[in-house]
Amino acid sequence: MEQILDVYAQTNALRDVDTRLKLLLGVCAIIIGVASQSPAAPFFIAVSMAFITVALAKIPVRLYASLITIPVSFAIFSAIIILLMSGGGEPIFTFFIAGYPIGATTASANLALLVVMRTFGGMCSLYFIALTTPITEIFSVMHTLRFPRGLIDLSMLIYHFIFVLIGETISIHTAQVLRHGYDTFRNSVQSFAMLGAMVFIRAWQQGEDLVIAMDARCYDGKLELADESRKPGRVVIGATIVYLGACAYLAWLTATMNIF
């Protein structure tokens, strides 16, 4: 089972900061990072976002490091493919595989570096949102932004059922492992299918029970949301705007910069 980040979102030190401000900071940082033409701005965003998440929101460094390794290693792997496939500029090195020339050029090296840095910056900004903002608060913001009713209600119910199902899945999975259910490949396919089907059936029953429970409480097809947002202080708003401005300025300033 994967690590569920919701626990940290509910308990971190920035939990009570206004949700809209946190979403604005995270989403704008992602947009600036993606739109940037040079690796400098995304790198700055990555380092500062990591700092904010670890130092201000007090997320354990060890957890943060283990989270960031997976996407960054994937990004590096994919960037190597881009490095070898795209072209332009001066060749740096070339070698032959089965008679085909494969190599890196200055333009492809710049592109690969840019992609790695954008992913790094983007992931750090995404982790900032995921680790500091509880999903329940995001529903309230979606509601204020007038997202379709059905979409919000469905999201809230899916969110509720995820935790119900994870509990069921863990118990069934443990029972299967104890009975050598995943010993051979054949067994594991059987067990996994059985696990999937049983979780589905149990979940379906839970869904039917919920319908009855909701009907008993006069459910009319709409779920109500309690909106309790506090206004953030001027200093915090100011700091956010200055930070985003600095990131955007850095991206604009270094737009034509190339490493190779």
**Interface of this chain with other proteins, residues 139 to 158, rule: CB under 8 A:** 148-151, 153-155, 157-158
Decide: 7 and 106 in contact? Cβ < 8 Å.
Answer: no
Phi, psi of 95 (to 5 degrees): -140, 170
Can you point out the beta strands (E) in the chain? 91-97, 100-105
Q: Which of residues 122-141 bind other proteins (CB under 8 A)?
A: 122-123, 125-127, 129-130, 133, 135, 138
Task: Rank residues 114 and 240 by Cβ distance to other proteins and give the closer one.
Answer: 114
CA 232 to chain centre: 25
DSSP 18-29: -HHHHHHHHHHH
> Which one of residues 28, 38, 49, 120 is an interface residue with other proteins (CB under 8 A)?
120
Binding status of residue 41 toward other proteins by CB under 8 A: no
Q: Is the dihedral of CA 176, 178, 181, 185 positive or negative?
A: positive
> With binding defined as CB under 8 A, does residue 106 bind other proteins?
no
- Which residue's entry shows tokens 């960037």? 79
Instruction: Return the ∠ at Cα 118 (arms to 116 and 122), rounded to 5°.
Output: 120
Instruction: Name the residue nearer to other proteins (CB basis): 161 or 252.
Output: 161
Contact status: 30 vs other proteins (CB under 8 A): yes
182 lines the binding site for other proteins (CB under 8 A)? yes
Q: CA 152, 7, 146: angle at the middle one, nearest 5?
A: 20
| Shortest CB 77 distance to other proteins, Å | 9
Residues 195-234 interacting with other proteins (rule: CB under 8 A): 196-201, 203-204, 206-208, 210-211, 214-215, 219-221
Residue from 18, 24, 35, 136 binding other proteins (CB under 8 A): 35
Stretch that binds other proteins, among 10-18, 25-33, 54-62, 232-240 (CB under 8 A): 25-33
Distance from C-alpha of 192 to C-alpha of 185, rounded to nearest angstrom? 10
